[in-house]
Chains A and B, each alone.
Chain A
Amino acid sequence: MAQKVLAVAAIRNGTVIDHIPAGQALKIVHLFHWECHQKLVTLGLNLPSRILSFKDIIKIEDLVLSANEANQVAILAPKATVNIIQDFEVISKFQVSIPASIASIISCPNPKCISNHEEMISSFKVKSHQNHVSLECKYCRRIFLYDSLDKKRIL
């Protein structure tokens, strides 16, 4: 049987986030400040994917991401899967799910919202409906549809 060639080198211990839509990996790295992670962080960008056509992948050495933390990326990468690696083996695997709230990821689209005028962390309640996701700003309480959000609002 032909051996599968990995486009991004395997890690011994840590976390792999797979099935990230192409273009989102750098935002996720920035969101979690992994650019400052003291251990190895490898990225694969624009890899071919059966599900997404093109995908990004992130591998972080010596870091175990909890489900709660991982769910924060669900807005950016709703189909992402998280693999926890130990001694090169996958010891657990889960798909991210939309969390009840998100912080930092999106700036409020309401220009009159205080969160756009002070140095502070934005925060939204997230509601998953049948066909869409809505976000309610914790501060100005405006409700937005995620799909109608200007993607420049994603930090």
Chain B
Amino acid sequence: MPNSFKKRDIIAIGDFAKEELLHVLEHTRQIKKMAPGKLLEGCILGSCFFEPSTRTRLSFEAAMHRLGGSVIGFSDGQWTSAKKGESLWDSMKMLEHYADVIVLRHPLEGSAQRAAEAVEIPVINAGDGSNQHPTQTFLDLFTILECQGSLDNLSIAMAGDLKNGRTVHSLAQALTFFNPRLYLVSPTILEMPKEICDELREKRIKFSFHKSLEEIMDKIDILYMTRIQEERFSHKFEYEQVKNAFILKTDQLQSVKKNLKILHPLPRVNEIAGEVDQSPHAYYFQQAQNGLFARQALLGLVLGKLT
């Protein structure tokens, strides 16, 4: 495949063809096997986090450092000129002269697209409100491939906040290339949005809605748990009603398939009990570690250092 990734913006998972997804996953595999230490030497990452983040920011910055590159930026929009009223457009225009690639997290939806229009250097979306978080999807796909040996024809349950959780939206879209059977487990008020369901129907993906994990535990290869996100609720009482809707404990893992792996984009609150960490089915910390390798692969590709 010619390097269609050089200088490419990573805005939304839906912008990528199946072959392109697999291309990134193959580079992720190779980097995990043996990371080329000096690959990004001389390159500077502009790390622009207008919203708090732990895993995504640290894994991007670690990815850059471990490949010999360096990082400038900020981890809180409160300390930038945005606080003084500077537009995102202007902030990006300024940063373009200091960095070779921009990683952006911003509370407003569509901000990564806007940033990409402002600059010539590649922009990687690290989360724009509840819209897109494509690098999470790359690492999720890689993790599923790694622990199951294939992405094709898997039975996958997504549980928790399927309405506001951008990770499950993007993952569901990406999985449509691989003929999954999807089980969507959530309280009614947090069901998968209609437009995602419409897309699944259009692509003839089999899916069903469920209210409890028990209904589907013995059928699935992957359980993708998500946090009920308090910050996405406009009224606290709505959050209180559903915050404990799903709590996974080890006794629910008695009759599951041997190959079942439990994933979670993290952070978790209480939806996976601590005791589950010791189970051979738990795979969420390996998943978090894979974030480093997937982001290394993406940085190498958009900076033209990988082909």
Which residues of A does B touch, CB under 8 Å? 108, 110, 112-115, 117-120, 137-143
Contacts and interface: CB of A to CB of B under 8 A. Distances in A.
Contact of A141 (B87, B108, B131): B131
Contact of A118 (B12, B87, B107, B195): B87
Contacts of A141: 12, 14, 109-110, 131-132
Nearest to B131: A140
A143 B195 contact: yes
Contacts of A118: 87-89, 114
Contacts of B128: 114, 140
Interface in B122-167: 128-132
Interface of B: 12, 14, 87-89, 106-111, 113-114, 128-132, 195
A148 B110 CA distance: 22
Residue from B14, B108, B113 with most neighbouring chain A CB atoms (10 Å) = B108
Nearest to A108: B110
A120 B92 CA distance: 15
Contact of B129 (A108, A112, A137, A143): A112
A114 B195 contact: no
A41 B131 CA distance: 43
Contacts of A140: 109-110, 128-129, 131
Shortest Cβ-Cβ A-B pairs, 7 listed: A139-B110, A140-B109, A140-B110, A114-B110, A114-B108, A114-B111, A114-B114
Contacts of B195: 142-143
A114 B87 CA distance: 10
A133 B108 CA distance: 26
B167 to A, nearest CB: 15
B88 A114 contact: yes
Contacts of A138: 110, 113
Given A119-B87, A139-B109, A142-B109, 18 more contacts: A112-B108, A112-B130, A113-B108, A114-B106, A114-B109, A114-B111, A114-B114, A118-B89, A120-B89, A120-B114, A138-B110, A139-B114, A140-B128, A140-B131, A141-B12, A141-B110, A141-B132, A142-B195
Nearest to A136: B195
A5 to B, nearest CB: 51
B274 to A, nearest CB: 34
